[in-house]
């Protein structure tokens, strides 16, 4: 709850500052004429808006450190647009995200999601404790048995309307999977609800553990310091 309130406060502050920041950027934009100016690529306005509105919770590069807040780095624009739409229309329940999304036009949904789609994947930090080999093995078996890899891919990178999940935050994955099972978390189709309906909560937690620690999505562990002679 404390994290949600902190994120809501940051989002509210960002939304109040955004018009001034946008106006300032427009006023400070130098006038230029000629072919050189027309050839120069215009900056993406949603890059600045993301930095102002989203980065406080999700991180400047799309991977923040706020518990319960998903990494957006490497996420697909189609999926991002769908989720923003669900927040805007009140179909997904998150106070902070609803406060942000309800102000968005359709063009904003496209602009933000297209920018999110340009963020490269950022490897998850190494877990604080070594992964449990037996639990990782069970998680891999569950991912195969329940067809996780069929939709999300063998590398769990997803595509188009299917999210990248490899290396996502464990507590976010756990809450999401439990939400799909209980029906609290809506989807744009019945696929996830059906997929987890026969999976126990304990197995869902194991899947979250495995996916968050998916080897291909983790940053290399720091090298051990050389022993002193």
Number of domains present in the structure of the chain? 2
Same domain, 152 and 85: no
In a domain, 150, yes or no: yes
Q: How far is CA 144 from CA 48, 49, 151, 210, in A?
A: 40, 39, 11, 12
CB distance 87 to 97 below 8 Å: yes
Q: Is the dihedral of CA 96, 160, 210, 168 positive or negative?
A: negative
Same domain, 142 and 196: yes
In a domain, 102, yes or no: yes
Rounded to an integer, the average pLDDT of 65-91 is 96
Q: Which of 122, 156, 175 is the last residue of a domain?
A: 122
45-53 vs 2-28: helix crossing angle, rounded to 10: 150
In a domain, 19, yes or no: no
pLDDT for position 224: 56
Q: Which of 89, 122, 155 is the last residue of a domain?
A: 122
- Is pLDDT at 56 greater than 70 in this prediction? yes
Same domain, 117 and 156: no
In a domain, 13, yes or no: no
Same domain, 139 and 117: no
In a domain, 164, yes or no: yes
- Kindly report the pTM of this predicted structure: 0.80
**Alpha carbons 188 and 77: distance in angstroms, whole number:** 15
Domain that holds residue 137: 133-217
Same domain, 105 and 144: no
- Is pLDDT at 5 greater than 90 in this prediction? no
Q: List the structure tokens of 101.
A: 């999304």
Rounded to an integer, the average pLDDT of 103-112 is 97
Same domain, 164 and 113: no
* First-residue to last-residue Cα distance in the chain: 50
Q: How far is CA 98 from CA 14, 87, 102, 171, 176, in A?
A: 14, 5, 6, 20, 17
Among 94, 137, 100, 118, residue whose Cα is nearest residue 43: 118
The tens digit of pLDDT for each residue in 171-209 reads: 999 999 999 999 999 887 888 999 999 999 999 999 999
The residues facing 124 across adjacent strands are 218
In a domain, 170, yes or no: yes
**Alpha carbons 59 and 70: distance in angstroms, whole number:** 10
Same domain, 143 and 98: no
Among 170, 187, 169, residue whose Cα is nearest residue 70: 169
Same domain, 197 and 156: yes
Q: Lowest-pLDDT range, 33-37, 140-144, 186-190?
A: 33-37
In a domain, 109, yes or no: yes
pLDDT band at 11 (very low <50, low <70, confident <90, very high): low
Same domain, 140 and 212: yes
pLDDT for position 188: 76
Phi, psi torsion values for 205, nearest 5 degrees: -65, -35
- Per the prediction, the chain carries an average pLDDT of 85
Same domain, 108 and 183: no
Q: Which of 94, 122, 150 is the last residue of a domain?
A: 122
Q: Which residues 6+ apart lie within 8 Å of 122 measured at CB?
A: 59, 61, 62, 63, 71, 73, 74
- Is pLDDT at 37 greater than 80 in this prediction? no
Same domain, 161 and 208: yes
The residues facing 159 across adjacent strands are 162
Domain containing 142 — which CATH number? 1.10.760.10
CB distance 46 to 115 below 8 Å: yes
**Alpha carbons 177 and 172: distance in angstroms, whole number:** 9
Same domain, 89 and 113: yes
In a domain, 66, yes or no: yes
């Amino acid at each position: 709850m404390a994290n949600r309130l902190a994120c809501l406060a940051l989002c509210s502050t960002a939304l109040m500052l955004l018009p001034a920041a946008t106006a300032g950027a427009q006023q400070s934009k130098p006038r230029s004429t000629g072919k050189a100016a027309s050839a120069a690529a215009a900056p993406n306005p949603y890059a600045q808006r993301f930095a102002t509105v989203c980065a406080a919770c999700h991180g400047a590069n799309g991977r923040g450190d706020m518990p319960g807040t998903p990494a957006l780095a490497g996420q697909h624009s189609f999926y991002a647009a769908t989720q923003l739409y669900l927040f805007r229309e009140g179909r997904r329940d998150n106070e902070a995200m609803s406060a942000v999304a309800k102000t968005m036009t359709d063009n904003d949904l496209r602009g933000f999601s297209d920018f999110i789609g340009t963020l490269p994947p950022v490897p998850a930090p190494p877990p604080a404790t070594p992964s449990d080999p037996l639990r990782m093995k069970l998680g891999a078996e569950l991912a195969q048995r329940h067809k996780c890899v069929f939709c999300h891919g063998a590398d769990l990178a997803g595509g188009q309307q299917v999210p990248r999940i490899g290396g996502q935050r464990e507590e976010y994955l756990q809450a999401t999977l439990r939400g799909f099972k209980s029906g609290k978390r809506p989807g744009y189709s019945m696929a996830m609800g059906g997929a987890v309906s026969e999976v126990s909560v304990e197995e869902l937690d194991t899947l979250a553990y495995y996916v968050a620690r998916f080897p291909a999505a983790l940053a290399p562990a720091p090298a051990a310091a050389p022993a002193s002679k």
